[in-house]
Chain A
Amino acid sequence: GAVVSQHPSWVICKSGTSVKIECRSLDFQATTMFWYRQFPKQSLMLMATSNEGSKATYEQGVEKDKFLINHASLTLSTLTVTSAHPEDSSFYICSAPTLSGNTIYFGEGSWLTVV
């Protein structure tokens, strides 16, 4: 079964609205979670590192105010795409390493379509 769960799996939203994607670690705690974006036929692109209890660390070129990340608990991180535009349409994936750091588990991914 999945050890990292994402919700929603698929979301369609109107331009200008905000969408929240949740990433939950099941049966283990994650002080760190990673958020990725993936375009068709391309590799994962790390967007940001979510840190429980502190601010997220964003990769160069990723707008902090557009992609709001909150890591409120040891099992939940959220990514909010604010004022979404069609170019934000993509596949968003989160991952979480175990506390031992030995293994990283991925969520099932969330498809975002902005119309």
Chain B
Amino acid sequence: GESVGLHLPTLSVQEGDNSIINCAYSNSASDYFIWYKQESGKGPQFIIDIRSNMDKRQGQRVTVLLNKTVKHLSLQIAATQPGDSAVYFCAETGQNFVFGPGTRLSVLP
């Protein structure tokens, strides 16, 4: 039989522009958050993480922002490149790992 799954929202960005991918989490007790990148046909890869005692963390071309007041997490990718095209999803951890549904990022030439 056919399985039911979540169809992913898509974000299309022009190459060279900045991308912002958002994620809302549900558990106010979650204290650790992770962003993953999944390229087509591959398993998810760890991108960047942030703990609840921080509001912002920067990596190479990526920045994660955490707003605990509204339980919102965002991933910013600077100067988006074709290789950034993938599905991005967040995960919140406390006692359990809870994954967001993911957003498909398409980089337009």
Docked complex: B21-76 residues within 8 A CB-CB of A? 32, 34, 36, 41-46, 49
Decide if A45 touches B5 in the complex (CB within 8 Å).
Answer: yes
Q: Residues of B within 8 Å of A, CB-based: how many? A: 26
Q: Chain B CB within 10 Å — which of A44, A91, A109, A111 has the most?
A: A44
Q: Does A103 contact B (CB under 8 A)?
A: yes
Interface string of B86-109 (1 = CB under 8 A from A): 010101010001010110100000
Residues of B within 8 A of A108 (CB): 42-43
Q: Closest approach, in angstroms, between the C-beta of B66 and any C-beta of chain A?
A: 16
Decide if B97 touches A104 in the complex (CB within 8 Å).
Answer: yes
Measured between alpha carbons, how far is A103 from B8 in the docked complex, in Å?
24
Decide if A41 touches B44 in the complex (CB within 8 Å).
Answer: no
Residues of B participating in the A interface, judged by any CB pair closer than 8 Å: 1-3, 5-8, 32, 34, 36, 41-46, 49, 87, 89, 91, 93, 97, 99, 101-102, 104
Extra contacts, 17 of them, besides A42-B8, A97-B97 (Cβ < 8 A), are A39-B3, A41-B7, A41-B104, A42-B5, A42-B7, A43-B8, A43-B89, A43-B101, A87-B2, A91-B41, A93-B44, A102-B32, A102-B93, A106-B36, A106-B44, A108-B42, A108-B43
Residues of A participating in the B interface, judged by any CB pair closer than 8 Å: 4, 6, 37-39, 41-45, 87, 91, 93, 95, 97, 101-109, 111
